[in-house]
């Protein structure tokens, strides 16, 4: 009989990046790389496990923006082109490295990976939602939802804005999965006391908090982060376990920094002769990452040794064993301390697996197999499964918190990005005004379309990703432009609708550009 | 509902239980404290101008920005192509408004707009009395009360320049509720309010003092659960007092973690470096309809019958067998260059 539960959560999200106006848009590669390096490898691991009838339970966010990109025909076709180009490059690399054993092996590894990515992608008719949906229906995955565009709840300005982020997301989820999501990932794990009531209204049963969101809850939680608490609204909140988080997340102590693992920052897009690599970098001749990375981390200096797939694989197996060993010690200790079975909640960014930590999907595969075959101290559960087995929990009000640097809102509210909120809040206020003014009457088709588009623009401007990127100080201009573009489009619609001067041609153009959430209803902003 | 402020009732409870819990000193701040607040706010302004990056070590939160940023990493920091410059957002929305946001348990952020017509109107109304008037933010601690503009637990003023549009306010009080007015303070002390903000509550930076009777948890037991995995460095979400308090309790509940031995991730280094590699280009030409094989593998010819292949060279001797045959296989030519490389 097990002594504790283990719940693994992968948070899959990317902001909505889709630029039909350009054939080749740099930031779209965020999505393409995520498919090749994270989502296809995860699907492959999960499918193999399912095929071998190995028990596992993983909870996974697929954010509404990520789902929308998975389902978008333009991006689907562009990914096929993208992966074909990579396969071509890998083929050339296999030839070029003929005299160079280690690199030749690497080129072959990438050729195999890219080919697999293409095959999986095409096997599902270019729609990667299908395999995730199947894995959910087979009982392996619990797919949860997230803010419509990953808006940062504590800074959105009011509850109506939070309600729209939740409602639009839940409706979108229903249209894809045929039922409401049981769980919800608060964007950036950011909780504000306004939000659990809104989750309740939308049928959500649970969400996650960073550790101090639970530990600082009031009244004091008896079991710390090792059991969920119920908010007054009746929605359960699960706290992040820091011990297991640190082993994977930490850049100092974490597994992904092991010297045998693949180095993220060295890419053939920068390392190879310009003329040779030119067809595979940006068409304007700017070197960018291709995804073919030949070196292992090696050490602290610039000197890098070639990557060795087999050594890294062995290391990933070691690390999976170490992780499980530590969970056993932790669970045994807690079981005695608490007098009941603890739940260890370990959430990670999905892209940590594969994109940043190349060996992550293998590690996960080893971990799940070890949990299945080698032990019975812990059991993998989804939070909903836990709640079904343990319905009685303490009632407490969580504390405002996020999983960002320093634990609160500062990452998204600092000198470089605080200018956003004045404009976001104004747009929120205006959206509210429009919804109240037009929502109860019959408006003509073009006005209706304008109002819906206004909401799309507002939601897209709210993505926490823009403030995050601006705050980190790199790659800033794209995020600044996205924030401004959506707000300006919103403002123009507002003015046009109010003065009854809608430019239908322009409206059509931005409906085509920002085509997320086709069935959105602006009345969600009515109050 | 905001949590009840941490310091109310705490004193009472502490006395009763006689526990060494930390206490935020007093509710009413002295004039001296007020002065300190101003100074801190000024320092903060400096900080905003010259932001200092604080690098952390070890805290679990520290790892994430780099990893999360990796999602958006394409290899270049500054991009040129297709870069359109978004038009600027409106400078102002022509309204009197002030908004308060929470940054963390200790700091709030406020932004505002004051219409110039309003300033003119006030000037006109107060005439000479307006001379020397200062635009100020007046922050009110409204924890646990229904605020009527006069009954704040405590308040303090921050002088703001008329060209400023926002300010970080150091309230230093986890678990308390705040609202703020913007207005002019005349030389005689009269305050003319222009706008009042929303009310916000700072989160607690420590465990709640509310422990259900039935569910009472001894501090040491809770401290053991609480301390697990937290870093107590400068980036910790835990307030200073509790960090100190915990150190007394935590001996080593979390030492069962043995992760990998490496000493951390190398960032891209910018010191001096040299990389040199060699590549070999094999090129040639034959009849456009001929079949060419290199290493026994067919090579695609250009329409003019030329071909070109490149190989990364490693040290050692390499043979490169090249074979060409006409379309009808009636002939056969071979050339085999032998190349050797030695690197010192």
Residue-wise pLDDT for A177-202, tens only, equals 999 999 999 999 999 998 999 999 99
Shortest Cα–Cα distance, A243 to chain B (Å): 5
The residues in B 79-108 lying below 8 A from A, measured between CB atoms, are 79-90, 93, 99, 101-105, 107
Q: How deeply is A442 buried, as exposed, middle or buried, from its count of CB atoms within 10 A (0-12, 13-18, 19+)?
A: exposed
Query: Quick one: pLDDT band at residue B79, thresholds 50, 70, 90?
Result: low
Is residue B24 scored above 70 in pLDDT?
no
The residues in A 227-256 lying below 8 A from B, measured between CB atoms, are 241-243, 245-247, 249-256
Shortest Cα–Cα distance, A51 to chain B (Å): 30
Q: Match 């909903």 to its residue by tokens.
A: A384
Q: Running DSSP on this structure, what letter comes out for residue A355?
A: T
Q: Does A415 touch chain B (CB under 8 A)?
A: yes
Looking at residue B225, its pLDDT comes to 66
Give the mean pLDDT of A245-268: 88
Rounded to whole angstroms, the Cα distance separating B141 from B174 reads 11
Nearest CA in chain A to B254: A243
Query: Quick one: pLDDT band at residue A217, thresholds 50, 70, 90?
Result: very high
Q: Which residues of B touch A276 (CB under 8 A)?
A: 279, 310
Q: How deeply is B123 buried, as exposed, middle or buried, from its count of CB atoms within 10 A (0-12, 13-18, 19+)?
A: middle
| pLDDT tens digits, one per residue of A74-85 | 999 999 999 999
Mean pLDDT is lowest, of A51-65, A290-304, B179-193, B291-305, for B291-305
> Which strand (E) or helix (H) includes residue B307?
strand B306-312
Residue count (chain A): 527
Is residue B221 scored above 70 in pLDDT?
no
Is residue A464 scored above 90 in pLDDT?
yes
Q: Does A274 touch chain B (CB under 8 A)?
A: no
Number of A–B residue contacts, CB under 8 Å: 317
Is residue B26 scored above 50 in pLDDT?
no
| pLDDT tens digits, one per residue of A465-483 | 999 999 988 779 999 999 9
Give the mean pLDDT of B56-73: 60
Is residue B222 scored above 90 in pLDDT?
no
Query: Quick one: pLDDT band at residue B78, thresholds 50, 70, 90?
Result: low
Task: Please indicate whether residue B16 or residue B74 has the higher confidence score (pLDDT).
Answer: B74
Give the mean pLDDT of A202-228: 94
Q: Running DSSP on this structure, what letter comes out for residue A490?
A: H
Name the residue among B64, B268, B311 with its Cβ closest to that of A96: B311
- Report the 10 Å Cβ neighbour count for B96: 17
Residue count (chain B): 344
Q: Which residues of A touch B169 (CB under 8 A)?
A: none
Q: Are B58 and B231 in contact (CB under 8 A)?
A: yes
Looking at residue B253, its pLDDT comes to 39
Give the mean pLDDT of B239-260: 55
Task: Please indicate whether residue B323 or residue B43 has the higher confidence score (pLDDT).
Answer: B323
Q: What radius of gyration, in Å, describes the C-alpha atoms of chain A?
A: 24
Rounded to whole angstroms, the Cα distance separating B10 from A517 reads 49
Which one, of B246, B276, B101, lies nearest residue A152 by Cα?
B101
Q: Running DSSP on this structure, what letter comes out for residue A400?
A: P
CA A317 to chain centre: 25
From residue B203, give the alpha-carbon distance in Å to each of A192, A414, B235. Answer: 9, 18, 16
Contacts of A462 (CB under 8 A, 6+ apart): A149, A150, A151, A152, A156, A161, A165, A424
Looking at residue B46, its pLDDT comes to 34
CB–CB contact B90 A423 (8 Å): yes
Query: Quick one: pLDDT band at residue B47, thresholds 50, 70, 90?
Result: very low
Task: Please indicate whether residue A453 or residue B80 has the higher confidence score (pLDDT).
Answer: A453
Strands A206-209 and A183-185: parallel
Shortest Cα–Cα distance, B61 to chain A (Å): 5
CB–CB contact B221 A337 (8 Å): yes
Around A421, how many Cα atoms within 13 Å sit in the side-chain half-sphere? 28
CB–CB contact A410 B103 (8 Å): yes
CB–CB contact A245 B74 (8 Å): no
CB–CB contact A26 B313 (8 Å): no
CB–CB contact A286 B81 (8 Å): yes
Rounded to whole angstroms, the Cα distance separating B32 from B28 reads 11
Structure tokens at B139: 């922050």
Is residue A166 scored above 50 in pLDDT?
yes
Is residue B229 scored above 70 in pLDDT?
no
Query: Quick one: pLDDT band at residue B13, thresholds 50, 70, 90?
Result: very low
Q: Running DSSP on this structure, what letter comes out for residue A173?
A: H
Rounded to whole angstroms, the Cα distance separating A109 from A95 reads 13
Q: Are A249 and B60 in contact (CB under 8 A)?
A: yes
Following DSSP, what letter does each residue of B242-286 receive, concatenated? HHHHHHHH-SSTTTT--------PPPPP-S-------EEEEEEE-
Looking at residue A441, its pLDDT comes to 85
Q: Are B27 and B5 in contact (CB under 8 A)?
A: no
Give the mean pLDDT of B168-182: 96
In the three-class reduction of DSSP (H, G, I as helix; E, B as strand; rest coil), residue A353 is classed as strand
The span from the first CA to the last CA of chain B, in angstroms, equals 73
Q: Which residues of B touch A355 (CB under 8 A)?
A: 70-71
**Alpha-carbon torsion angle A30, A35, A41, A42, nearest 10:** 90
Looking at residue B300, its pLDDT comes to 86
What sign does the dihedral B241-B244-B247-B249 (CA atoms) show? negative
In the three-class reduction of DSSP (H, G, I as helix; E, B as strand; rest coil), residue A191 is classed as strand
Task: Please indicate whether residue B278 or residue A490 has the higher confidence score (pLDDT).
Answer: A490
- Report the 10 Å Cβ neighbour count for B118: 17
Is residue B230 scored above 80 in pLDDT?
no
Shortest Cα–Cα distance, A14 to chain B (Å): 8
| pLDDT tens digits, one per residue of A429-444 | 999 999 999 998 888 8
Name the residue among A25, A355, A415 with its Cβ closest to that of B82: A25
Which one, of B286, B267, B105, lies nearest residue A265 by Cα?
B267
Q: Are A242 and B228 in contact (CB under 8 A)?
A: yes
Looking at residue B246, its pLDDT comes to 67
Is residue A262 scored above 80 in pLDDT?
yes
CA A345 to chain centre: 17
The residues facing B137 across adjacent strands are: B158, B182
Q: Match 């931005």 to its residue by tokens.
A: A510
Looking at residue A370, its pLDDT comes to 97
CB–CB contact B84 A481 (8 Å): yes
Structure tokens at A386: 């836990």
Which one, of A119, A142, A107, lies nearest residue A12 by Cα?
A142
Rounded to whole angstroms, the Cα distance separating B261 from B284 reads 52
At residue B22, φ and ψ (nearest 5 deg) are -75, 150
CB–CB contact B89 A423 (8 Å): yes
Query: Quick one: pLDDT band at residue B284, thresholds 50, 70, 90?
Result: confident
Is residue A357 scored above 90 in pLDDT?
yes
Looking at residue B212, its pLDDT comes to 65
Query: Quick one: pLDDT band at residue B77, thresholds 50, 70, 90?
Result: low
Rounded to whole angstroms, the Cα distance separating B147 from A134 reads 54
| pLDDT tens digits, one per residue of B130-158 | 999 999 999 999 999 999 999 999 999 99
Q: Does A335 touch chain B (CB under 8 A)?
A: no
Q: Are B184 and B135 in contact (CB under 8 A)?
A: yes
Q: Which residues of B touch A286 (CB under 8 A)?
A: 76, 79-81
CB–CB contact A26 B79 (8 Å): yes
CB–CB contact A477 B205 (8 Å): no
- Report the 10 Å Cβ neighbour count for B143: 25
Around A206, how many Cα atoms within 13 Å sit in the side-chain half-sphere? 25
Is residue A363 scored above 70 in pLDDT?
yes
Phi-psi region of B264 (alpha: psi -120 to 50; beta: other; left: phi over 0): left
> Which strand (E) or helix (H) includes residue B99?
strand B97-102
CB–CB contact B265 A257 (8 Å): yes
Q: Which residues of A touch B104 (CB under 8 A)?
A: 406-410
Nearest CA in chain B to A102: B314
Task: Please indicate whether residue B251 or residue A305 has the higher confidence score (pLDDT).
Answer: A305
Cis peptide upstream of residue A393 (ω within 30 degrees of 0): no
In the three-class reduction of DSSP (H, G, I as helix; E, B as strand; rest coil), residue A141 is classed as strand
Name the residue among B104, B217, B271 with its Cβ closest to that of A409: B104
Q: Are A20 and A512 in contact (CB under 8 A)?
A: yes
Structure tokens at A356: 């940043």
ipTM of the complex: 0.93
Measure the CA angle with vertex A37, ends A32 and A41; round to 5°: 120
Q: Are B199 and B177 in contact (CB under 8 A)?
A: yes
Q: Does B310 touch chain A (CB under 8 A)?
A: yes
Mean pLDDT is lowest, of A30-34, A108-112, B68-72, B80-84, for B80-84
Looking at residue A149, its pLDDT comes to 98
Q: Which residues of B touch A195 (CB under 8 A)?
A: none
Looking at residue B128, its pLDDT comes to 94
Rounded to whole angstroms, the Cα distance separating A126 from A113 reads 17
Looking at residue B283, its pLDDT comes to 85
Q: Match 């902001």 to its residue by tokens.
A: A15
Q: Are A248 and A319 in contact (CB under 8 A)?
A: no
Looking at residue B210, its pLDDT comes to 81
Q: Match 């040794």 to its residue by tokens.
A: A305
Rounded to whole angstroms, the Cα distance separating B286 from B306 reads 6
Q: Does A222 touch chain B (CB under 8 A)?
A: yes
Following DSSP, what letter does each residue of B192-225 receive, concatenated? EEEEE---EEPPPSS--S---GGG---HHHHHHH
Looking at residue B279, its pLDDT comes to 85
Mean pLDDT is lowest, of A117-121, A329-333, B60-64, B70-74, for B60-64
Q: Does B74 touch chain A (CB under 8 A)?
A: yes
Nearest CA in chain A to B113: A422
Rounded to whole angstroms, the Cα distance separating A183 from A401 reads 18
| pLDDT tens digits, one per residue of A375-414 | 999 999 999 999 988 888 899 999 999 999 899 999 999 9
The residues in B 229-248 lying below 8 A from A, measured between CB atoms, are 229-230, 235-238
Query: Quick one: pLDDT band at residue B35, thresholds 50, 70, 90?
Result: very low
Query: Quick one: pLDDT band at residue A251, thresholds 50, 70, 90?
Result: low
Q: Does A265 touch chain B (CB under 8 A)?
A: yes
Query: Quick one: pLDDT band at residue B62, thresholds 50, 70, 90?
Result: very low
Give the mean pLDDT of A154-165: 96
Shortest Cα–Cα distance, A193 to chain B (Å): 7
Q: Are A116 and A47 in contact (CB under 8 A)?
A: no
Contacts of B227 (CB under 8 A, 6+ apart): B246, B249, B250, B253, B254
Looking at residue A254, its pLDDT comes to 87
Helix axes B219-227, A309-338, angle to 10 degrees: 170
Looking at residue B270, its pLDDT comes to 56
The residues in A 38-77 lying below 8 A from B, measured between CB atoms, are none
Is residue B33 scored above 60 in pLDDT?
no
């Amino acid at each position: 009989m097990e002594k504790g539960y283990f719940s693994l959560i992968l948070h899959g999200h990317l902001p909505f990046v889709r630029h039909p106006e350009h054939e080749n848009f740099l930031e779209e590669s965020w999505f393409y790389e995520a498919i090749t390096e994270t989502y296809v490898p995860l699907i492959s691991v999960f499918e193999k496990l399912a095929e071998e009838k190995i028990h596992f339970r993983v909870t996974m966010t697929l954010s509404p923006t990520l789902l929308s990109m998975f389902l978008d025909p333009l991006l689907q076709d562009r990914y096929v082109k993208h992966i074909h180009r990579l396969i071509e490059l890998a083929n050339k690399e296999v030839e070029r490295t003929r005299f160079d054993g280690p690199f030749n092996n690497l080129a072959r590894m990438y050729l195999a990976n890219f080919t697999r990515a293409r095959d999986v992608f095409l096997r599902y008719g270019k729609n990667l939602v299908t395999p995730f949906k199947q894995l959910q229906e087979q009982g392996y995955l619990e797919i949860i939802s997230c803010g419509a565009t990953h808006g940062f709840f504590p800074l959105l300005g009011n509850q109506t804005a939070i309600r729209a982020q939740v409602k639009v997301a839940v409706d979108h989820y229903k249209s894809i999965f045929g039922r409401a999501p049981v769980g919800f990932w608060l964007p950036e794990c950011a909780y504000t006391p306004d939000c659990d009531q809104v989750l309740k209204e939308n049928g959500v049963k649970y969400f996650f908090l960073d550790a101090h969101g639970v530990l600082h809850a009031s009244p004091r939680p008896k079991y710390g982060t090792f059991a969920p608490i119920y908010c007054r609204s009746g929605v359960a909140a699960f706290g992040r376990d820091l011990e297991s988080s640190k082993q994977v997340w930490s850049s100092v102590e974490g597994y992904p920094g092991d010297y045998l693992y693949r180095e993220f920052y060295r890419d053939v897009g920068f390392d190879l002769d310009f003329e040779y690599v030119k067809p595979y970098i940006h068409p304007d001749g700017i070197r960018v990452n291709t995804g073919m990375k030949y070196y292992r981390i090696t050490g602290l200096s610039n000197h890098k040794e070639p990557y060795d797939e087999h050594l890294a694989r062995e290391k990933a197996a070691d690390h999976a064993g170490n992780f499980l060993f530590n969970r056993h010690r932790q669970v045994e200790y807690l079981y005695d301390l608490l007098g009941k079975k603890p739940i260890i909640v370990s959430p990670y960014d999905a892209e940590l697996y594969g994109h940043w930590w190349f060996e992550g999907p293998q590690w996960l595969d080893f971990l799940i197999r070890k949990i299945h075959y080698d032990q019975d101290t812990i059991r993998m559960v989804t939070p909903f499964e836990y709640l079904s087995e343990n319905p009685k929990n303490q009632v407490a009000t969580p504390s405002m918190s996020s999983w960002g640097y320093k634990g609160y809102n500062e990452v998204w509210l600092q000198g470089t990005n605080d200018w956003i909120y004045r404009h976001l809040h104004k747009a929120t206020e205006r959206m509210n005004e429009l919804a109240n003014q037009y929502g109860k009457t019959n408006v003509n088709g073009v006005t209706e379309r304008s109002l819906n588009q206004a909401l799309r623009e507002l939601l897209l401007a709210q993505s926490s990703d823009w403030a995050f990127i601006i705050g980190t100080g790199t790659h800033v201009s794209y995020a600044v432009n996205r924030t401004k573009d959506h707000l300006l489009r919103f403002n123009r619609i507002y003015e046009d609708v109010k003065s009854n001067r809608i430019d239908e041609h322009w409206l059509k153009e931005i409906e085509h550009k920002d085509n997320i959430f086709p069935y959105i209803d602006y009345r969600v902003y009515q109050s | 509902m905001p949590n009840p402020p941490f310091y109310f009732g705490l004193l009472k409870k502490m006395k009763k239980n006689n526990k060494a819990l930390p206490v935020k000193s007093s509710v009413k701040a002295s004039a001296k404290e007020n002065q300190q607040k101003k100074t801190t706010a000024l320092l903060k302004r400096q900080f905003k101008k010259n932001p200092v990056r604080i690098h952390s070590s070890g805290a679990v939160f520290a790892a994430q920005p780099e990893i999360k940023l990796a999602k958006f990493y394409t290899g270049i920091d500054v991009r040129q192509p297709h870069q359109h410059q978004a038009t600027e957002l409106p400078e102002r929305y022509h309204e009197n408004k002030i908004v308060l946001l929470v940054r963390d348990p200790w700091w709030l952020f406020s932004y505002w707009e004051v219409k110039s017509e309003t300033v003119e109107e006030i000037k006109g109304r107060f005439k000479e009395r307006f001379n020397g008037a200062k635009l100020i933010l007046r922050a009110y601690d409204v924890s646990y009360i229904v605020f009527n503009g006069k009954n704040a637990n405590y308040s303090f003023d921050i002088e703001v320049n008329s060209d400023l549009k926002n300010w970080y306010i150091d309230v230093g009080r986890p678990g308390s509720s705040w609202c703020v007015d913007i207005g002019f303070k005349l030389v005689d002390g009269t305050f003319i309010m222009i706008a009042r903000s929303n009310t916000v509550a700072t989160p607690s930076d420590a465990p709640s003092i509310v422990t259900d009777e039935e569910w009472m948890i001894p501090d040491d037991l809770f401290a053991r659960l609480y301390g697990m995995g937290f870093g107590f460095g400068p980036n910790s979400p835990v307030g200073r007092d509790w960090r100190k308090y915990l150190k007394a309790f935590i001996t080593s509940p979390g030492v069962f973690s043995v992760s990998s031995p490496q000493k951390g991730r190398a960032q891209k280094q910018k010191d001096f470096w040299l990389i040199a590699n060699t590549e070999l280009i094999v090129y040639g030409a034959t009849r456009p309809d001929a079949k060419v094989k290199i290493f026994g593998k067919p090579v695609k010819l250009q329409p003019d019958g030329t071909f070109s292949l490149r190989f990364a060279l490693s040290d050692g001797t390499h043979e490169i067998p090249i074979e060409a045959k006409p379309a009808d296989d009636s002939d056969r030519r071979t050339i085999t260059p032998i190349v050797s490389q030695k690197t010192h």
